[in-house]
Amino acid sequence: MTVEATSSGLSEGQAGAYAPEQSLSVACLLSMSGGFLDAFTWLSLGGVFANSQTGNVVFLGIFAASGQWHQAAHHISPILAFLAGASVATFVRAPLLCLAGEIVCLTLVMLLLPRFSEPVPIVAISFGVALQTASFRQVERWKYLSVTVTGNMLRAIDQLALAPDRGARQGARTMLVICLMFLLGAALGGLVTIRLGASGLAVPIGLLASALWLCCRYRSRGQS
């Protein structure tokens, strides 16, 4: 459950000849991080999501309808933080800078979580996640989101049903690989969070740092 893009299938146009942030390896790292962070925030921050704003909206509605306003309020702050982060990323249009910003947000939460009051960590994480989500929307020739599986599974089905050729099969495989990486990240997030708590955020920080390093490495090779 999360915010899902409305577009599916092939992108409207090819990116430039050299777009390292659109590589499958980068998309897999970002998706693993996305799955991990949803598991982390659900287990350690009172049953809220960093990525899954659909989940937050559902719980907001459920608690509000039953008059549990205190519980409902827990799900408002990540929604607003996500919207703010996505707005910043859309305005800045600097994927690598936004990815670095997410790393900073997660690092601050990891180091200072015991000192933060409850809304602050989820706000920081959701803001950072939105920076990533709004900046990395394409893998190779296909649109995707690194914080969802539903939309990506639908894109895989679309590829097979609407254009049954070799390129479509490749697109379907790409989407399914990304979904599996999200699942792996969520499973890892559950195990690590239970054992390490806030220190477990070192894992998604490492994944994001690896993605940033790959992008910088590819760019430097492309310019040489």
Q: Which residue has the tokens 């915010």?
A: 3
**Model confidence, pTM:** 0.86
CA distance 112 to 168: 46
Rounded to the nearest integer, the mean pLDDT of the chain is 85
Residue pair 171/143 in contact (Cβ under 8 Å)? The answer is no
Spell out the domains of the chain, with CATH numbers in brackets.
20-223 (1.20.1250)
CA distance 20 to 215: 5
Q: Which residues, including other chains, have CB under 8 Å from residue 164's CB and lie 6 or more apart? A: none
pLDDT at 83: 95
Nearest residue to 38 (alpha-carbon basis) of 22, 60, 53, 57: 53
Residue pair 85/135 in contact (Cβ under 8 Å)? The answer is no
pLDDT band at 163 (very low <50, low <70, confident <90, very high): low
CA atoms within 13 A on the CB side of 46: 18
Residue pair 137/144 in contact (Cβ under 8 Å)? The answer is yes
Q: Which residues, including other chains, have CB under 8 Å from residue 87's CB and lie 6 or more apart? A: none
pLDDT at 221: 65
For residue 113, what is the DSSP state? G
pLDDT band at 12 (very low <50, low <70, confident <90, very high): very low
Residue pair 102/136 in contact (Cβ under 8 Å)? The answer is no
Question: What one-letter code names the amino acid at 207?
Answer: L
Nearest residue to 41 (alpha-carbon basis) of 97, 133, 115, 113: 113
CA distance 91 to 76: 23
pLDDT at 74: 85
Structure tokens at 18: 């050299």
Q: Which residues, including other chains, have CB under 8 Å from residue 63's CB and lie 6 or more apart? A: 69, 71, 72, 75
pLDDT at 133: 92
Per-residue pLDDT tens digits for 134-159: 999 999 888 999 888 888 999 888 88
CA distance 67 to 220: 55
